[in-house]
Amino acid sequence: MSEFSVIGRRLPKVNSWAHLTGEARYADDLFLPRMLYGRVLRSTRPHARIRRVDVARALAHPGVVAVVTGADMPEKMGIMPSTQDETALAVDRVRYVGEPVAAVAALDEDTAFDALSLIDVDYEDLEPIFTIEEALEREDVKIHDEAKRANVFKEVHLSFGDLEGGFAAADHVRDDWFFFEGNTHAPIESHSAVASYGADDKLTLWTATQVPHYLHRELEKVLGLPRSRIRVIATPNGGAFGGKSDPFGHEFAAALLSLRTRRPVKITLDREEVFYAHRGRHPVKMRIRTGVRKDGEITAVHYQSWLDGGAYASYGIATTYYTGALLTVTYRIPAYKFDGVRVYTNKPPCGPKRGHGTTQPRYGFECQIDKIAEDLGLDALEYRKKILQPANSRTVNDLRITSMGLGDCLDALQRATRYSERRGQLGRGKGIGLAGSAYISGAGLPIYWNEMPHSGAEIRIDRGGGVTVMCGTSEIGQGSDNMLASVAAEALGVMPADVHVVSGDTSLAPVDLGSYSSRVTFMAGNAVRDAAMKLRGWLVEAAAEKLEIQPERLLTAYGRIYDRDDPAKFIGFVDAAVLAESRHGTLVAAGSYKPPKGIGGSFKGAGVGPTPAYSYQAAVAEVSVDLETGIVTVDKVTTAHDCGRALNPANVEGQVEGSAYMGYGEIIGEEQVFRGGLHKKPSLLDYKIPTSLDTPALEAILVESVDAEGPFGAKEAGEGPLNPVIPAIANAVYDAIGVRFDETPITAEKVLNALGKRDRRGELKTRIGPDGLDTGKGDPKRALRRLTASTDARERKRPVG
């Protein structure tokens, strides 16, 4: 029998019932009395100076109540305090098509929409920059005047161990280039915010955000309103995946429009706007040089990445570091050098998407590991097992490794898929591929420097035995509300269904930094556990006195506090609460969590990469390639994931399967691509996220390494499992047709293009991918001409009736 009454059980999520009956209130479901409807006017130009914004005609339009522009909120903002380069609405310059320029509030949404075409914006076009190479080369065009070199946003160089010595000791060196195409989150819920400024001079903002606390800070900065007068409530997010973790223009616009009109204002983005809001996966070019001895032992790795950041910083400084930080935590690397460059381009800003910055290098590295295994004649699964970074160790870049279940994941996959026997044996057109990976259970540092907890929780027990957990986490579908309820319930000895959860509310709940970097289970889970254990202590103490039993002998479960040696001796939870409240006063306790010191290095840039615990995972993909059409069908993805401990196995499996699904979409066709600054496919019809008919069979295997510091041993599950799926599919396609896909996505066109083609030397083509940076190829003037044609069509005014 389990030592737990809640943990490890497949109980329905506490918030399921609201989802399943239509009772859940997402931001767009809020309708307040006197509410106005807002819409955002967005730039039609990728790069232009704004000479003038004239809102007079819009303001005069019947039904329009207020209009705001960039001049009303000129304060710089952005998620990372050190790189704030955005304004809520563009002030004097636009840097991507879709950038918010102005916002209208009207009596109804149709009127607000019509009024947008009555705002006259006088643009003076500037040369746009669309590629990494142009951004690196063009000193004469500056997307941000502050950039020191051309359009470089951030450049980092880190070196650990004896790199030259490592390469000198190698028997074999592989040098490969890779390109990972950008893609976007595409949650089914579009962003939405409702602001209400009251006569008490307080602002409440309900919004689909992953980061209510960070947004709270930015609202203060931009609106000039003290934070004590602002309340942010993160509504349940209808999917987020990283796409709702920046402060967004429409959130500030709704707030300011409400402040001006003293009426509630709702702004909900339409689907096309969501594609332009973006903040998704960076396109990244990579070069990886890896030295190995004959037996495969890695002697040195030199990893270089060039990130296409789009027009603004977003989390870019972290993304840049993340491309290099986590390559070292899976396999032993004694010498490592990382060079990263992120550039600005005139496209929607990139940011964090599930796997933030680690997905692209992991794809490149795991494809390269597959090549090395083949070069050395090693089984790719056994090879990975042989070079594992050990548990309870330090990596070359000074990251602390604790629990480490990658070896167990590989073993589980071999048992489930018989990978080693089947690799290379399936015949032409069929393939099987493998990859490993790791991810953080929360970033070791907050985005703004402070010594406060990363997560706080408060628990109250009422006189009827009701338990209320308050925590600033944002429920984005990952199941955080249920996690809070489950951890509290396990510690107190009640069931999750008895627990009320108040989350994502900056006034009612202690700060949690937000639902990003897979931090919530580990950090908020520990904070809740901390609070619950304090209350448990009071309950047990009161029960021990009443039962006349030593407190050490008492256990809590199923609404009882009972003698472990004689469970018939018990006191009910409600009675224990009454006794405890009589002794201690009101039953409220707070708990908090902060990662331990010393989990990373002390060099500049050491802040990105450390985490209290790494999750590990590996995936096997099985594919069929149609040699006539080039269509790649992924038949099955099996993922083994070390989650520490599965607090609720059904929910962990859901995260693993959902990650596999999303990774599959990224490698098989999703791409966030532009022509002349315009998104080529800003709809769910054209940007094809996988349907039920596309999605492979998915199997999740949970590996429990029981982390010593995790809440009940748990680590993250929401992001890491995406990473290995992408290289596993690329490696499977190679097994099927003998062509290496060193760039994503693997489309039918590319497969057909590769099959049977010969290169310049007459050899059959065995690789699709970049050979370096495309230097000297950019022609922005041509891009500008293309753009003018398309914006002319776009700006054709709708008739207003």
CB of 208 to another protein, least distance (A): 10
Interface with another protein includes 190 (CB under 8 A)? Answer: yes
**CB closer to another protein, 270 vs 774:** 270
Contact 496, 568 (CB under 8 A): no
Instruction: Give Cβ neighbours of residue 703 (< 8 Å, ≥ 6 apart).
Output: 405, 408, 409, 412, 616, 640, 641, 642, 643
Q: How far apart are CA 108 and CA 100, in angstroms?
A: 20
**Which listed residue (180, 197, 241, 336) binds another protein by CB under 8 A?**
241
Element (H, E) at 545: helix 525-547
222 binds another protein (CB under 8 A): no
662 is a contact residue toward another protein (CB under 8 A)? yes
Is residue 186 at the binding interface for another protein, with CB under 8 A as the rule?
Answer: yes
Name the token pair of 438.
């790791």
Element (H, E) at 401: strand 400-401
Let me know: does 102 contact 70? Beta carbons within 8 Å.
yes
If binding is defined by CB under 8 A, does position 261 make contact with another protein?
Answer: no
> Taking CB under 8 A as the rule, which mask of x and - marks residues 71-110 in contact with another protein?
---------------------------------------x
Select from 168, 684, 708, 789 the one that contacts another protein (CB under 8 A). Answer: 684
Residue with tokens 């309870």: 392
Q: Does 503 bind another protein (CB under 8 A)?
A: no
Query: Shortest gap between Cβ of 25 and another protein (angstroms)?
Result: 7
Residue 188 contacts another protein per CB under 8 A? yes
Nearest Cα residue to 618 out of 484, 434, 796: 434
Provide the terminal-to-terminal Cα distance of the chain, rounded to the nearest Å. 70
CB of 177 to another protein, least distance (A): 31
CA angle (92 as vertex; 254, 150 as ends), nearest 5:
120
DSSP for residue 49 = E
Q: Is 657 an interacting residue with respect to another protein (CB under 8 A)? A: yes
Among 40, 44, 324, residue whose Cα is nearest residue 192: 40
Tokens representing residue 552 in the block:
């050490």
Q: Which positions from 461 through 500 interact with another protein, judged by CB under 8 A?
A: 476-479
Which of 117, 159, 420, 695 is close enough to bind another protein by CB under 8 A? 695
- Report phi then psi at 471, rounded to 5: -155, 140
Residue (of 296, 393, 312, 390) closest to 348 by Cα position: 312
Q: Identify which of residues 352 and 591 has a Cβ nearer to another protein in the complex.
A: 352
Identify the residue whose tokens are 């003018």: 788
According to the binding rule CB under 8 A, does residue 670 interact with another protein? no
Does residue 653 belong to the site contacting another protein (CB under 8 A)? Answer: yes
Q: How far apart are CA 519 and CA 443, in angstroms?
A: 7
Residue 423 or 641: the one with the smaller Cβ distance to another protein is 641
420/695 with CB nearer another protein: 695
The residue from 141, 329, 343, 689 that contacts another protein (CB under 8 A) is: 689
Does 20 bind another protein (CB under 8 A)? Our answer is yes
Q: How many residues does the chain have?
A: 801
Site string for another protein, 428-467 (x = CB under 8 A): ----------------------------------------
Which residue lies nearer to another protein by CB, 427 or 801? Answer: 801
The verdict on 635 binding another protein (CB under 8 A) reads no
Binding segment for another protein (CB under 8 A), chosen from 79-87, 492-500, 612-620, 651-659, is 651-659
What SS3 class is residue 682? coil
Tell me phi and psi for residue 456, to 5 degrees: -130, 150
Residue pair 519/442 in contact (Cβ under 8 Å)? The answer is yes
Binding of another protein at residue 33 (CB under 8 A)?
A: no
CA distances for 673 relative to 127, 279, 282, 283, angstroms: 19, 13, 11, 10
Which member of 209, 235, 237, 346 binds another protein (CB under 8 A)? 237
- Judged by beta carbon, residue 340 or residue 658, the one nearer another protein is 658
Q: Which residue has the tokens 């039953």?
A: 587
When asked if residue 355 is in the footprint of another protein (CB under 8 A), the reply is no
Shortest reach from residue 660's CB to another protein, in Å:
6
Number of residues in contact with another protein, rule: CB under 8 A?
A: 58
φ, ψ (nearest 5 deg) of residue 503: -125, 160
Residue 626: CB minimum distance to another protein, A: 19
CB-nearer residue toward another protein: 37 or 538 = 37
- How much helix, strand and coil, in percent to the nearest 5, is found in the chain? 30, 25, 45
Among residues 5, 15, 111, 210, the one that binds another protein under rule CB under 8 A: 15
Give the residues lining the site for another protein (CB under 8 A): 10, 12-13, 15-26, 28-29, 31, 110, 185-190, 236-241, 270-271, 476-479, 648, 650-651, 653-654, 657-658, 660-662, 683-685, 689, 691-693, 695, 697-698, 801
